[in-house]
Amino acid sequence: MTAEILNGREIAKDYRADLERQVNELKEKGVTPNLTVVIVGNDGASLSYVRSKNKAAENIGMESSIVRLDENATEEEVLNTVESLNQDKKVHGILVQVPLPKQVDENKVLDAITPEKDVDGFNPINIGKLYTGQETFVPCTPLGIMELLKHTGSLEGKEVAVIGRSHIVGQPVAKLLTDQNATVTLMHSRTKDMVSKIKDFDVVVSAVGKPGLLKGADLKDGAIVIDVGNTVVDGKLVGDVDYESALEKASYITPVPGGVGPLTITMVLNNTLLAAKRQNNL
């Protein structure tokens, strides 16, 4: 079997075309969705990631701006910036790029973003609403993974291994998969004989950041593989799964790059549109 490639760029393109249509509808009603990203310091990779979100927003007709603070900014300065964006009626979605410099308490800053504009879905109240089934913003990578999985058929009754227990990816995607009636096993660095267990699972979502963690031979025949890993090796972005060998064993597989990544940014836009609609009761 040669796997069908889940082309994240193509899937994202279609999704963004639909978002663009909705943005235009909103603009006709006088509301232009605005995503504002706060970045502290000069880290090149962070800056380029922030600019790509920025550009993606503008490409579908949203407004987007970047607020840059000096790398020596105090916690109070960062909190004041967030607070002024909370108050600004023209801003619908706020992102704070992490990691933050060590003089700034990351949890404190993320908690300060008003839940209504927290398009990353990292504010505890939004996480709590996710777990209690209330209206919320779902974190973007998990949401993007679910969008990719829609292209592979129903998840009902499927056995899914999620590898990695972060509250950014592993835990929320486990929750979303459970909501779709999949049976999820949440694996992590302390799971015994992890690799040899993978053969039992219909779907594998790997969010570890360890190139070569899984090979084709480790997979169940016809498994669906979602590779969230992205590690730079010799200047190239690689996932957790050995792509070439997995391609021969899986039924569907995401490439790295071009798999989950484009969907994550797409879901930032999705959540910003949602925020603009909710804030204007549209």
Among 46, 114, 185, 230, binds a second copy (CB under 8 A): 185
3-state secondary structure of 118: strand
Rounded CA-CA distance 164/161 in Å is: 10
**Side-chain half-sphere CA neighbours of 271 within 13 A:** 31
Residue 59 interacting with a second copy (CB under 8 A): no
Query: Quick one: which of 17, 55, 88, 128 contacts a second copy (CB under 8 A)?
Result: 128
Of the candidates 271, 87, 111, 88, the one whose C-alpha atom is nearest the C-alpha of residue 96 is: 111
From candidates 183, 217, 236, 248, binder to a second copy by CB under 8 A: 183
> Would you call 105 a catalytic residue per the annotation?
no
Choose, from 90, 108, 117, 120, the residue flagged as catalytic: 120
Q: Cβ closer to a second copy: 2 or 183? A: 183
Query: Is residue 129 within the footprint of a second copy (CB under 8 A)?
Result: yes
By CB under 8 A, tell whether 254 contacts a second copy.
Answer: no
Phi, psi of 154 (to 5 degrees): -70, 145
Q: Which residue has tokens 């009603």?
A: 29
**How many residues make contact with a second copy (CB under 8 A)?**
32
Q: Judged by CB, which is closer to a second copy: 18, or 200?
A: 200
With CB under 8 A as the contact rule, the residue among 124, 153, 212, 222 that binds a second copy is 124
Q: Give the Cα separation of 90 and 246 in Å (integer).
A: 46
Residues 72 to 111 in contact with a second copy, rule: CB under 8 A: 107
Please answer whether residues 229 and 209 qualify as being in contact, where contact means their C-beta atoms are separated by less than 8 angstroms: yes
Closest to a second copy by CB, 16 vs 175, is 175
Omega before residue 257 within 30° of 0, cis: yes
- Is 178 a residue that touches a second copy (CB under 8 A)? yes
**Dihedral, CA of residue 91, residue 97, residue 98 and residue 104, to nearest 10:** -60
Active site residue 118: no
* Beta carbon nearer to a second copy, 113 or 269: 113
112 HSE (CA, 13 A, CB side): 21
**Residue positions annotated with a catalytic role:** 53, 97, 120
Site of interaction with a second copy (CB under 8 A): 107, 122-129, 131-134, 156-157, 159, 165, 167, 171, 174-175, 178, 181, 183-188, 190-192
